[in-house]
Chains A and B, each alone.
Chain A
Amino acid sequence: MILSDTDRKILHRLQSNLPLVSRPFLELSKELSLDEDTIIERIKFMIEKGFVRRLAPIINTQAMGREATLAAVNVPENRIDEVSAIINEYSGVSHNYLRKGKNKNIPYNIWFTMSAKDDEELHSRLKEIENRTGLTVRSLPTEKKFKIGVRFKIY
């Protein structure tokens, strides 16, 4: 399915903050030269069809007092499904991917992000994954952020 230019225009704008005013979509309608009802209807459509996952607060885990890390594991080829399923069981896991180096071999293949209520909980969960799988989990927490803002170019 192809989105219309109107949908793309709305989608592009929706990646930035929704105005904190009583009628936020009326505000957007002025910015985008569309009417409020159309904007509401198109957003509902795009949510229903899965183009928009959700229109919601994007939470800063660390600022909310939570701790997070990117973890990497070297999983033998024949255990990938088993180990990724164990990792997925943890509710703090938001991303979990099998990745391979394209131009070079690297020592890890499963990459996941995990957050927990504090450092202690985070490390005990990583330790638990190590114990359950018998594999070493390498934790690569952020030391410095240069950019975090998943906004896509929409054309």
Chain B
Amino acid sequence: MTQKKEDSDVKLIKYIQEGLPVTKTPYKDIGQALGMSEDEVMQKLKRLLDAGKIRRLAASIAHRKIGINANAMCVWKVPKERVDEVGKFMAGFEEVTHCYERPIYPDWEYNVFTMIHGYTDAECEAVIQAIKEKTGLDDYVVLYSEKEFKKVGVRI
């Protein structure tokens, strides 16, 4: 990708990362602001989505405000050879919004991280129980957030 192309992608993302215009023709309106045609804007966005640079063009929801009040980070100690199988299984739960493998250290042996969101703590606990029963894993820690100091979407 040329430097010039990259720059105009960055310019586009920077312009819309705080929010697309909620109008009948948002892509045309973005184009007008940036000196691009509507087609150019749509093509650029399609390319950024196809390349995975943009995961989605979608709404970020204030989940607490709509009643999804419980969130648990549950970390699991999973034998290396079972990480793939278990990771895929955990990811299959609708309430599991993130599932990652992360490194271990001498004072930290939990290598699989799941973020679980639910309307209640009980809903999160039920998912944890189901994972525990189905995988047979019993070394895990549930971490509830006690205080939120910062929570913003990723910007460039």
Contact = CB atoms under 8 A, between A and B. Distances in A.
Contacts of A88: 149-150
Interface string A14-41: 1111101111111000000000100010
Q: In the complex, which range does the number of interface residues on chain B fall in?
A: 35 or more
A40 B22 contact: yes
Interface in B1-30: 13, 16-20, 22-28
A149 B66 CA distance: 18
Interface string B51-64: 11111111111110
A53 B60 contact: yes
A135 B119 CA distance: 35
B53 to A, nearest CB: 5
Contact of A52 (B57, B60, B99, B146): B60
Contacts of A107: 107-108
B83 interface: yes
A93 interface: yes
B57 A97 contact: no
A133 interface: no
A105 to B, nearest CB: 9
A63 B53 contact: yes
11 contacts: A43-B59, A51-B65, A57-B57, A60-B55, A88-B150, A94-B153, A98-B147, A98-B149, A100-B144, A111-B143, A151-B97
Given A52-B60, A85-B149, A150-B97, 12 more contacts: A11-B59, A15-B56, A22-B28, A57-B16, A57-B55, A59-B154, A66-B156, A72-B108, A98-B146, A108-B108, A143-B101, A153-B94
